[in-house]
Structures are given as C-alpha cells and as structure tokens.
C-alpha cells in the first residue's frame, strides 16, 4: 500500500563543523518526529560517522534514517550521496577520506563531534571535513552510482557550492538522480526560476544545521515504505511512486 511520507533528506549533525552541538543524534530524531517527518537523511560534510547512531535512535523513535554524505568535489560542488545501507555509505566515506587533505582547526571551523544514539560523545573527527576533496564531479557521481547510491546535486539555487553557480550548468553525463533546491525556493517555483534543472527530478530539503531548521523545507513523497529503493522509484515516477505537490 502506498502512503505519503514527509521527508527531509539533507540534515547535518554535530559531526559537521558548521553544525551546532544541539544537532546530536537523539535530538535530531526527536525534533524530526515533532516536525511530522517520517523519513530523513543525515548528510554530514564528507563523512557519515554519525549515521549509525542516528539510525539506531531512529529505529527506537519510529523515524526512518537514510545514511548519506554531502561530498564536496574538486570543483567545490556539493552533492548528496544517499544509500540503502550503512556499509555502502562507509565505503564511499573511505574513498572520500582518501581524497581529503588537511586537519580541522576547531577554533576556526567548529568542532566535529562523533556521538552515539544516547547523545554521548564518542570522540572528534580530526579531518578537515569542511574542505574540498581531490575527486572531480564526474568521478564522484560514478563512484556513488557504483555503490548503488543516489546522487543529488545539492542546493542548486545557492551561490556557494551550488552546481549552477560553480559550473553554470548541470552536466548530462554522468547523470544525476535529481537536484535539490534549498528552503529559500518553493519547490513549485524551482523549474521556472532555474530552467537548467530541465526534466531532472527536483526535491527540497532543510540543509539543517540547527534543531529549529529541521523540516523547514521538506518533500512529500508517495512511497510503499521509507526506503532508498522506494525513493529511487519516486524520483523516476515509477510504479505509482512519486514526488507530490507541496
């Protein structure tokens, strides 16, 4: 049976240097439930080290969590990588780490906190997660697809790290599975304002770095269950799945 899910597929945790400490796994899940969300994705900068904790907390609280990363390519384009399971997300993380140079300076960029599902601090990631990798956009998209993930061009409307500002266009090859517009652009207006989107599926998400921001933008999806395979069908508009008008 198909049902409607309210989804926010771009949320940062306290692992992202620009994310507040309040963005701990359990707090994110409880805020998502308060916001009426049924499906979220954690997409920290160049890392997924808090994804397992969010998934465990989500299972307890009845919120489905996709493991993801927000990868910064060599061109300084941000892309969202979403996966069906943690193992594939970790495989991409290993590859991303190979191409990531530098060490974080918390006094400049912020702390990068790894926490468990009870919001207990487990450590700090020392890498410069805010930086760009040495991997190009095309090879990043191919790597994500090789791991059977979905690749979404992040916040294409933004002047910083959006693909349209960085490149001026959306390359057709390798193809993205969709694009995301930020909370600043109503989903109903996205194609008119950014004709470069063309026929690509278009989502909106909060890009939340604070608890109050979770769910400020969301995509309504018709799915049989809150799973990556169902999201893939919705992006393609297949088998009755789809993106619903906001």
**pLDDT value of residue 44:** 98
Kindly give the confidence (pLDDT) of every residue in the chain, 246 residues in length, as a single tens digit, with 9 standing for 90 and above. 999 999 999 999 999 998 888 999 999 999 999 999 999 999 999 999 999 999 999 999 999 999 999 999 999 999 999 999 999 999 999 999 999 999 999 999 999 999 999 999 999 999 999 999 999 999 999 999 999 999 999 999 999 999 999 999 999 999 999 999 999 999 999 999 999 999 999 999 999 999 999 999 999 999 999 999 999 999 999 999 999 997
d(CA 215, CA 21): 18
Of 156, 151, 153, 163, the C-alpha closest to 228 is: 151
Q: Is the peptide bond before 174 cis (omega within 30 degrees of 0)?
A: yes
Q: Are strands 150-153 and 78-83 parallel, antiparallel or unpaired?
A: antiparallel
**pLDDT value of residue 20:** 84
Report H helices in 78-153.
86-98, 106-109, 137-146
How far is CA 244 from each of CA 3, 35, 69, rounded to the nearest angstrom?
11, 18, 25
238 C-beta neighbours (distance < 10 Å), count: 10
d(CA 115, CA 119): 6
DSSP E strands in 24-164: the ranges are: 39-45, 64-72, 78-83, 113-115, 121-124, 150-153
Helix axes 51-61, 25-34, angle to 10 degrees: 40
**pLDDT value of residue 120:** 96
**pLDDT value of residue 19:** 84
**pLDDT value of residue 26:** 98
In angstroms, the first-to-last Cα distance of the chain is 21
**pLDDT value of residue 112:** 97
**Tokens of residue 117, six digits:** 């599902």
Query: Are 213 and 11 in contact, with CB atoms under 8 Å apart?
Result: no
**pLDDT value of residue 246:** 79
């Amino acid at each position: 049976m198909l049902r409607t899910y309210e989804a926010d597929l771009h949320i940062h945790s306290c692992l992202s240097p620009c994310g507040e400490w309040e963005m701990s796994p359990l707090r994110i899940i409880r805020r998502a439930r308060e916001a009426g969300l049924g499906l979220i994705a954690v997409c920290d900068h160049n890392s997924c080290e808090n994804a397992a904790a969010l998934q465990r907390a989500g299972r307890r609280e009845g919120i489905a969590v996709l493991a993801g990363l927000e990868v910064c390519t060599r061109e300084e384009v941000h892309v969202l990588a979403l996966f069906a399971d943690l193992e594939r997300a970790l495989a991409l993380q290993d590859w991303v780490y190979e191409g990531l140079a530098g060490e974080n300076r918390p006094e400049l960029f912020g702390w990068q906190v790894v926490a468990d599902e009870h919001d207990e601090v487990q450590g700090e990631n020392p890498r410069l997660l805010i930086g760009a990798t040495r991997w190009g956009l095309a090879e990043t998209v191919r790597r994500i697809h090789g791991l059977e993930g979905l690749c979404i061009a992040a916040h294409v409307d933004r002047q910083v790290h959006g693909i349209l500002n960085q490149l001026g266009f959306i390359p057709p090859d390798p193809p993205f599975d969709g694009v995301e517009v930020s909370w600043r652009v109503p989903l109903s207006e996205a194609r008119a304002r950014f004709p470069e989107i063309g026929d690509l599926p278009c989502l909106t998400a909060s890009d939340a770095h604070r608890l109050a921001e979770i769910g400020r933008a969301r995509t309504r999806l018709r799915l049989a269950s809150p799973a990556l395979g169902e999201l893939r069908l919705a992006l393609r508009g297949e088998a009755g799945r789809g993106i619903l008008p906001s």
